Amino acid sequence: MIAKIYSWTWWFVLPPVLFSLFKLLWMKYVHGNYLRSLKYVLLEIKPPRDIERSPRTMEQVFAALHGCWSSPNKIDEYIRGKLQAYFSFEIQGINGEMHMYIRCEEKFRNFVESLIWAQYPDAEINQVEDYTLSVPKNCPNAEWDLWGVDYKLVKEDAYPIRTYHKFVEDVTGKMIDPLASVADVIAALPPGQQIWIQMIVTPVRDDEWKDSVKKLANKLAKRSEEVQPNIFQKVMGVFSVLWRYLMNLPEPAKTKEERPIELLLTSTEKEVLKAVEESMNKKAMRVKLRWIYIGKREGFDRGFLSGINGAIHQFNDLNLNSFTHDNTTKTYANYLFAESRLRWAQRKIFTRYLDRDDAGPTFILNSEELATVWHLPDMSVASPAIERVEAKKGAAPVNLPVA
């Protein structure tokens, strides 16, 4: 009986299944070839010693990077396997020092450098060797241990996180730099221990972002969304108008005007609505955020996990949005085969970090949120962890004699 059913149905059931499998394997193949053809550079950014700029300066950099978004044609997408360009903004803490990096395709190097120098003229930018090469590729092993996790958002992406506007000291009114706590944790690292923070950003279409934000804003404002009538509804509408005209019927009564939104929302709801609507004007990126604590087993102190988690949690706003651990990527295991499952989780997140792989949970942040998480710390952050440019570089005099 089963053989008969198969003989009757294979010709329209099997081809779609085989095509789906072929497409999956083919796209994996062409994407792999495309990624292997790219050349990347790692740029270390040293902030100026006397920088007096808020994260809003970095917001302009992220907004400009959004211009790298492009829509590939069908040949590029399915034959060449072209993917959207991405940029990785990273922080390395080692030996009590904090280093800041941007990893990008080699063809974007001049563009990225010009954006940084346009906003931070006295910054120093150098191409450096990948800092991840300082540890064995087979971590964890008998000598090295690590702990890592990817982050996700508690609520939908359209709710913003706590941004730099809210990091203000009540008495003086001055901004508290969000990276100060990260720098303090790194400054306390013992020798041989490292903390890596990685934020991979990929531009997204404006309408992909704004449509979701607008939908949430309408929901929060208790506004009914405009639904475009279909062809049947349009025909019936015309027929209704014509029928009233021929029969000399009165116009239908208008619905009672709704109460002003100010009377429908609480003060907290108004603040949430305002924050959501303001984010609609920003450029947005798809983000992968992860961090790793790695070092020799001797001296490996899990107490630093609380410090970094606390530094990330400062971006949380209970009324808006918050970062939280993604338990599917967190390096822990309980119960059956705990040790082998733990090793598997550790090596998976370590490999993904090395490859700058955005597999796993991702979310969308706007340029203001991105600048809050990654920016050059200002001079108010007095932590010894931050390595700054020692002296301001000036141009040579125009009248310098030439031998």
pLDDT of residue 224: 61
pLDDT of residue 231: 72
Cα distance between residue 197 and residue 189, in whole Å: 15
pLDDT of residue 217: 86
- Calculate helix-pair angle for 180-187, 303-313, nearest 10 degrees: 170
Helix (H, G, I), strand (E, B), or coil: what is residue 306? helix
pLDDT of residue 33: 84
Q: Please name which of 148, 189, 186 lies closest in space to residue 351, comparing C-alpha atoms.
A: 148
Whether 349 and 329 have beta carbons less than 8 Å apart is answered as yes
Please state the length of the chain.
403
For domain 38-212+269-373, give its CATH number from 3.40.1710, 3.30.70, 3.30.450, 3.40.462: 3.40.462
pLDDT of residue 306: 87
Domain boundaries, the chain: 38-212+269-373
Q: How far is CA 176 from the centre of its chain?
A: 22
pLDDT of residue 307: 87
First to last CA, the chain: 97
Whether 69 and 203 have beta carbons less than 8 Å apart is answered as yes
Whether 282 and 187 have beta carbons less than 8 Å apart is answered as no
pLDDT of residue 403: 44
pLDDT of residue 395: 45
Q: What count of other Cβ atoms lies within 10 Å of the Cβ of residue 235?
A: 11
Tokens of residue 176, six digits = 């508290």
pLDDT of residue 151: 95
The per-residue pLDDT string of the chain (403 residues; one tens digit each, 9 = 90 and over) reads: 666 666 767 666 677 777 788 888 888 888 888 888 889 999 999 988 777 778 889 999 999 999 888 877 788 778 888 888 999 999 999 988 899 999 999 999 999 999 999 999 889 999 999 999 999 999 999 999 999 999 999 999 999 999 998 888 777 778 788 888 888 888 888 888 999 999 999 999 888 788 888 888 888 887 765 556 667 666 677 667 776 766 676 766 655 555 555 567 788 888 888 889 888 889 999 999 999 999 998 888 888 888 888 889 999 999 999 999 999 999 988 888 888 899 999 999 999 999 999 888 999 999 999 999 999 888 666 665 666 666 555 444 445 454 4
Q: Please name which of 109, 99, 87 lies closest in space to residue 47, comparing C-alpha atoms.
A: 99
> Which residue in this structure is represented by tokens 């349009």?
234
Q: Which residues of 1-36 are buried (b: 16+ CB within 10 A; e: fewer)?
A: eeeeeeeeeeeeeeeeeeeeeeeeeeeeebeeeeee
For residue 324, what are the CA distances in angstroms to 75, 197, 316, 349, 395? 39, 15, 9, 16, 47
Secondary-structure percent of the chain, ordered helix, strand, coil, rounded to 5:
40, 20, 40
Classify residue 364 by its DSSP letter. E
